[in-house]
Structure 1
Amino acid sequence: MIDKLPHTMPRPVIYGAMVLGLLAALSFRVLTIVEVFNPALVRPIWYFGVLGYILFFAYRYFITEKRKRVITANRLLEKLKAEGELNRDDRLLLDYVLSSVVKSKEHVNYIFIVVISIIVVVIDLWLTVF
């Protein structure tokens, strides 16, 4: 029997981490553009990006480690590979791990970083070359 079943984070925490990650990513991407228009804002924006990334990636590290602990401490991979019966606790733990992955919004951060990076590179090239 599981002493304490792990749970996924509440929606506000999940979305808060996503927004923080997006804003931190945006901060770094706009630095070259901001420098053209208002160089005094570069340092504050850079600090916001760094602090935002520290908090965002600390949160992501915590979530990943929590998932790994559940999997390894309960030998879930070994049980799945053995093709034996999974007991109720194993199923609850697998539900937690899979729900956590599905509820995660990290994929939004990844696509946002790719898209905003492309846009900012194009804008920066346009501002400096043309």
Structure 2
Amino acid sequence: MPQNAHASPVWVRNLFFWSGIIATVCYRAIVVLNHYSGKIALAAWYIGTVGFILYFWHRYAVSEKRVELIKQHDLINAVKQTNLSQPQIEANEYILTTLLSTKEKWNYIVIFVTSFLALIIGIYLDFFR
């Protein structure tokens, strides 16, 4: 599927950025919150889990879009055919090749899926059991 080479609006990128930051802070705060209020700790867990689901779904989508754009526009070969210096060509080739071969998307998938499953199980255990 052809990919759009435009970045998302700043507000969208900020939304996902802050969902990741808030999720991380919430997860770290659970250790302290457990000593004061189980309900607040549980709320932090839910907020953190939903934040991670959003953040890692977005990171996966960005990673996939980059790979598709590199392939769609044959960017590795395009860089070789420019008037760039040899070090610039090598740097671009390195960046593009590693973006194609990185395993980061699997990290995003695992975190997304396990967070989603934890959320479903948590909802069941906390509200329906």
Where on the TM-score scale, by shorter chain, does this alignment land: which range? 0.5 to 0.7
In structure 2, the residue matched to 1:34 is: 33
Offset at 1:4?
Answer: 7.3
Superposed counterparts of 1:51-70, under 5 Å: 51-70=50-69
Q: Secondary structure at the match of 1:27?
A: helix
Q: TM-score, normalised by structure 2?
A: 0.58
Gaps of 5+ in 2: 84-91, 93-129
Note if 1:84 corresponds to 2:81: yes
Alignment partners' CA distance in 1, 2:36 and 2:73: 55
In structure 1, the residue matched to 2:45 is: 46
Offset at 1:5?
Answer: 4.7
Alignment partners' CA distance in 2, 1:69 and 1:52: 26
RMSD: 2.4
Cα displacement string for residues 61-111 of structure 1 (whole angstroms, at most 9, x for unaligned residues)? 11111111000122101222xx2148xxxxxxx9xxxxxxxxxxxxxxxxx
Compare relative contact order (CA 8 Å, sep 6+) and give the higher one, 1 or 2.
Answer: 1
Contact 2:3 2:65 in 1 (8 A): no
Alignment partners' CA distance in 2, 1:68 and 1:38: 45
Task: Give, as a single letter, the amino acid of the residue that structure 2 aligns with 1:84.
Answer: Q
Alignment partners' CA distance in 2, 1:4 and 1:41: 42
Task: Give, as a single letter, the amino acid of the residue that structure 1 aligns with 2:81.
Answer: G
In structure 2, the residue matched to 1:7 is: 6
Q: TM-score, normalised by structure 1?
A: 0.57
Contact 2:3 2:69 in 1 (8 A): no
Alignment partners' CA distance in 2, 1:4 and 1:17: 20
Q: Secondary structure at the match of 1:8?
A: coil
Alignment partners' CA distance in 2, 1:30 and 1:4: 39
Q: Secondary structure at the match of 1:36?
A: coil
Offset at 1:44?
Answer: 1.9
